[in-house]
Structure formats: structure tokens, C-alpha cells
A = this chain, B = another copy of it.
């Protein structure tokens, strides 16, 4: 997605004169005001963006969704995205998973002293572009600077507000026996894109992160009248951990079929080299939906318009003890657990 918009902006600060972030850029004085006035306000100005205190927003619904995420991904740039696009899509997706229409984001930076303005500017441009693609507005922000060695380039927090314009209740407690589990595309690309970079692995084709906004597809499902029971993006911990969380929260025994779970050949190969299981790899643009059996085909056709790899991977067997069973390609079954330990640190 992030390559679809031809996006260019010139950095308005004389970054050749002051090429790096100084402690004073977070100090509340002239340099901070310069940074905000010249670098952030012109980019994010939209009639709502406020320099201080709070943005005032007039909503069209009293029912809102509110969420937050901090992003510490390392490295900052990776094939298919960077910390900036991720900070927008990740929070947009958390709102979408609650069935909300994402509208407004906050944007808070913790910058490390010595960060180059050129890098910071690239991230700002990506945030702008990603907010346009996902149709959300950045309306309020904050900038802090920590000493060199007390941070790691850029950390970003985005929080989000969305409105809920339907009467569905979307959460694990709504899950019923026989619900069908739809997966929105292939898994494992985000985590492997990052790990390949860290380990300096090279493949014939570059593995790109799946980092993308999910709100448009979710709103299409809602607008088509699909009676969605539960949605969840499969980020940290991967498909296996997320399914386990939902199984526990909904007291559901789920069964999924390994053969239906799409994984790119390059991702499979990288997982073998690195000793990972794609089921535990983080994604940044994939989600699962729990849909009543009789609406599954209709829902799937909407998923497939967005991504032909979307597929039904399994179903809710019974409402009992929460657990997840994987049936492998040979037909044998085993329980799959949540991620134990730290497989991929700082993946988001």
C-alpha cells in the first residue's frame, strides 16, 4: 500500500544547518516551537490539529472507540513500511477491529538526541501518507527528546478515536459454535521482513511487510450487513497466540486447518532457516474474523475482493474449554499454544 501514492514533500527546516535533533527540541522553548511550527504543523494542518493542549472534535456519534499503541520497531525502515506508516496503520487497525470507523489520531514522538532530521522527515512523510490512505486525521501531538543512549532513534505513540455507527457488538464473547474463521491473507511477512533485515538474509525476492490499513475492508463487511461476531488483527504473537487469546476469552474450542493457511514460499524458506513457525510470526495487515456459518461465503467474497488469498481457515468446534487445535496436512491434530518466550523482539 505504502508505495501506491506518489508522495513528495520538501522538508521546511534548514536541515543542513542543524542536521540533528538536539535536547532543546524537546525543551519547550524556541527550538521546539520551530520544529512544531515549521515541520509538523504545515504537514498535519487540517483545521483540527492543535499545537497545545487538546484538539476539539465534533463527532457524529456518541459511541466511540478509543485505543493506543506505542511503536518501537527496529530497524525504523523495512521493506513495505517503516515506523511511521506502522504507527498509523496499527492504531487504525485496532479501531477497525472494534468495528469503529477510525477518524482521529494523536501522534507523540520520543526522539533520541542526535537523530538525523533527514530520518525524522522521512518518518513524518510516511505518517502523512499513511493517514491519507487510511483517511484519518492527525489532530494533536507531542514531542519529547531523550539523551543519546537513552532511547533508540524514534519511538512513536499513536492513540486513536473512531466512531461506531452500527448496532453490532463485536468481541470474543459473541463467538458461537459453528462460527467460521476467515483469515484476510497470507501470514508471516511482517515479522520475516524485519528479521531478514536484522540477520542480513537475502532472498531472490525481497519479503515485504504486509503493513496496511484494515479499516476499509471492515467497514465494507459492516455495510454489507454481515453479522460479525469478532475481529482481531494478528500482530505480536502471531495467528497461534491471537487465536489462543480469543479461545480463552470466549471459552471456545477452535479447529484450524494448516493446509488452508496461506504462507509465501519465501516466508516458509526464511522460517526454516531461522527456526521459526509462521503461526507465531507477527503481521501488521492481517486479521481474522469470526462469522456465522450461514454468512461465511458472503463475507469471504468481500474479503477476496481486497485480497484473493483470504480464506476460511477453520471454525469454532464447541463452546467449552478455550483451546486451539491445528489439523496438519496429513490429518493429524495437535493443540497449539500461545507463544512462549520472546520470538521476535521489537517487531512493532
A residues in contact (CB < 8 Å) with B: 22-24, 26-33, 51-72, 74, 94-95, 97-98, 100, 104, 106-110, 139-142, 144-147, 149-152, 155, 157, 159-162, 164, 232-233, 235-238, 241, 245, 280, 282, 337-346, 348
The residue that A106 contacts in the complex, of B67, B142, B146, with Cβ under 8 A, is B67
Point out which of A22, A27, A147 has the most chain B C-beta atoms below 10 A from its C-beta: A27
Complex: A278 Cα to B24 Cα, angstroms: 18
CB nearest to A162 among chain B residues = B54
What are 25 A-B pairs at a CB distance below 8 A?
Answer: A26-B346, A29-B341, A30-B337, A33-B245, A53-B67, A53-B95, A53-B97, A55-B65, A55-B66, A56-B63, A56-B98, A58-B62, A58-B63, A59-B62, A59-B63, A60-B62, A66-B106, A67-B106, A68-B141, A68-B157, A72-B110, A150-B151, A157-B157, A159-B159, A161-B161
Complex: A74 Cα to B113 Cα, angstroms: 15
Give the dominant DSSP class at A's interface. mixed
Complex: A136 Cα to B1 Cα, angstroms: 38
Q: What's the number of copies of this chain in the assembled complex?
A: 2
Complex: A69 Cα to B144 Cα, angstroms: 9
Instruction: Tell me how far the C-beta of A2 lies from the nearest C-beta in chain B, rounded to whole angstroms.
Output: 22
Quick one: given A95-B54, A100-B54, A152-B151, are A28 and B241 in contact (CB under 8 Å)?
Answer: yes
Complex: A348 Cα to B144 Cα, angstroms: 9
The residue that A57 contacts in the complex, of B64, B342, B346, with Cβ under 8 A, is B64
